[in-house]
Amino acid sequence: MAIAEHDNVFIFVPNLIGYARIVLALIAFWFMSTNYVISGWCYVTSALLDAVDGHAARAFNQSTRFGAMLDQLTDRCGTTGLLVTLAYFYPRYMFWFQLSIAIDVACHWLFMQTSVVVGRSSHKVNDNFIMRLYYQKDVLTFMCCVNELFYVCLYLLHFTYGPLIFGASLFKILAFLTGPFAVLKALISVMHAYVAGIDLAAVDVRERQERRQKSEPVSGKKVE
């Protein structure tokens, strides 16, 4: 079914999906400390819709900067809300959850902001080899899924061991399997900050050089 062309970005299909993600995340936050069933389903559904809005943006030719920013903010805020709850549930590991929040928010914000400053069409477009590899569709989807699965398993383990496989908790098995990928994703986030820092510093150097050239007297003209 064809979608009529219009320029009201706020009601583009992927952005409507984005609003639904926000509502689901808020419901998940509300029940996060009391009802793991409602909260878990809402949180996971919100996270999975992250892939759906991307497909919708491409299918309907509705990729926008607003949608990309909405998507990023929903991802960051959703994960942060879950990590805050995990820090409350597991106070012994609070520092590591705080560190995860700081790395996730700061590094992605710097990377997104730098992409705008240097004029890239998308934050996923970068000359760095690791960034190009990370932002390949299958790699990015896998890393995001296993990262979220790790934190969701930690959340569920606070309430229940879940199904047992040969006497072992399925949630605990998944947490052990996905944990290393969560650490790897955090390291890649640090790489985001490093790459963005290099690019942003290059902009500063270029702008300083341009200002210096403008302030220098033109050759051959007498300076009063």
| Active site residue ranges | 75
Burial classification of residue 140, based on how many CB atoms lie within 10 Å of its CB (0-12 exposed, 13-18 middle, 19 or more buried): middle
Whether 160 and 36 have beta carbons less than 8 Å apart is answered as yes
Tell whether the torsion through CA atoms of 193, 199, 200 and 202 is positive or negative.
positive
Question: What single letter denotes the amino acid at residue 154?
Answer: L
Residues 100 and 189: their CA atoms lie apart, in Å, by 10
CB neighbourhood size of 142 (10 A): 12
Closest CA to 90 of 98, 79, 101, 80: 98
The tokens describing 205, both together, are 């150097």
Give φ, ψ of 32 to 5 degrees: -60, -35
Chain-centroid distance of CA 73 in Å reads 7
